[in-house]
Amino acid sequence: MKTIDELLAEGVKGKRVFVRADLNVPLAEGTITDDGRIRAVQPTIEKLAEAGARVVVASHLGRPKGAPDPAFSLAPAAARLGELLGTGVAFATDTVGSSAKETVAALTDGQVAVIENLRFNAGETSKDDAERGAFADQLAELADVYVGDGFGAVHRKHASVFDLPARLPHAVGQLIATEVGVLKKLTDEVKRPYVVVLGGAKVSDKLAVIDELLGKADRLLIGGGMAYTFLYAKGYEVGISLLQKDQVDKVKEYMRRAEETGVELVLPVDVLASTDFPDLKTKAPAVFETVDADKIPADKEGLDIGPKTRELYASKIADAATVFWNGPVGVFEHPDYADGTRAIAQALVDSSAFTVVGGGDSAAAVRTLGFDENAFGHISTGGGASLEYLEGKTLPGLAALEG
């Protein structure tokens, strides 16, 4: 892959450089609640602008259904990018229409523009090669050079990620280069003990990565909603906790394989259980009880790991040389159920290991809970992309940049 530094050495002054970024930030009533992904691509954009490129930034946001939807506009992200850059950022109100063409044509050397949400055009995500290619052709008219730096989207075979690089001279941005370098330390160059912490809602989202990690990790710590399927597979009552019964047989197989291969698979020993899911808007105090993981009442659901589990997991992380964490271990958005996720983050901070926080929810949790980002080895911008890389899959966006 050609690096951005090699591209800059060739010269980009006066050239229209299309940067496929990942500005897929969380919004609450039009306000950005976590700008981490914008800040992650900022260095690449600054480098190009300082070298005199006319920078055209493009991204998706959310999942609009192939048509304009004001709820998913990139306007707030463009405004925030301008604040971070300390300069005006032009914004096109469409992707390949008159606004985009006029906005890009008006750029001068060193200026930056953001075009509207790529997924407002059905061609971006189409499974039909011809439709996707036609949209990529239209995007190519806006640029002379392509820079891929949206790591959170490289696992998608989308027009701006997979098809567009084939139509333009291309290079890899600083963010993607960093992300890939970090992931190699989790796959090819692992220092041991290697501890993986997996949380999040559904075990089905993590099946493939668990399958792969059973041959690579020394310890797997399971938390979040997915833990209750494991607990159920052990024969425990889990009440009304999140449960995927269709995955129980697979989970039993993984537990058997972990025992056979010497991988330590660690499950919660106690949880915070309640009859009611917390109000995440008002943050009203929750009513819950701490119970052993094998004694969850039939009318209650587990919403966070308990104090004994927090201590257990911290002890399993303490002597690690490498730690990868993907997924909160509780409903961290509510203060009464944030202690589990906070404990995991603190254990990573206290560890002398190379620590990687992967996934949008985990990254948001770290920032929401007030941790210094620099206290971690790396905070990834790509949850799904990171997991698929760890699964050993070929990521379309990376393959396109290698071509």
Q: What are phi and psi of 195, to 5 degrees?
A: -110, 130
Distance CA 141, CA 265 (A): 52
Other beta carbons within 10 angstroms of residue 46's beta carbon come to: 17
Measured CA distances, 244 to 125, 306, 350 (Å)? 29, 22, 34
DSSP label at residue 224? S
Tokens representing residue 19 in the block: 């940067």
Closest listed residue to residue 146, CA positions, set 160, 127, 125 = 160
Structure-derived torsion over alpha carbons of residues 314, 318, 323, 326, reported in degrees to the nearest 10? 10
DSSP label at residue 3? B
- Nearest-5° angle of CA 87, CA 93, CA 96? 110
* Residue with token string 């494991």: 230
Distance CA 148, CA 44 (A): 10
Measured CA distances, 163 to 153, 158, 193, 393, 399 (Å)? 13, 7, 40, 19, 11
Tokens representing residue 337 in the block: 């159920």
Q: Is 289 helix (H, G, I), strand (E, B) or coil?
A: strand
3-state secondary structure 36-89: HHHHHHHHHHHHHHHCCCEEEEECCCCCCCCCCCHHHCCHHHHHHHHHHHCCCE
Structural contact between residues 119 and 67, judged by C-beta atoms closer than 8 angstroms = no
Measured CA distances, 48 to 150, 296, 373 (Å)? 15, 55, 25
Q: Is 198 helix (H, G, I), strand (E, B) or coil?
A: strand
Q: Which active-site residues does the annotation give?
A: 37, 202, 360, 384
Structural contact between residues 231 and 273, judged by C-beta atoms closer than 8 angstroms = no
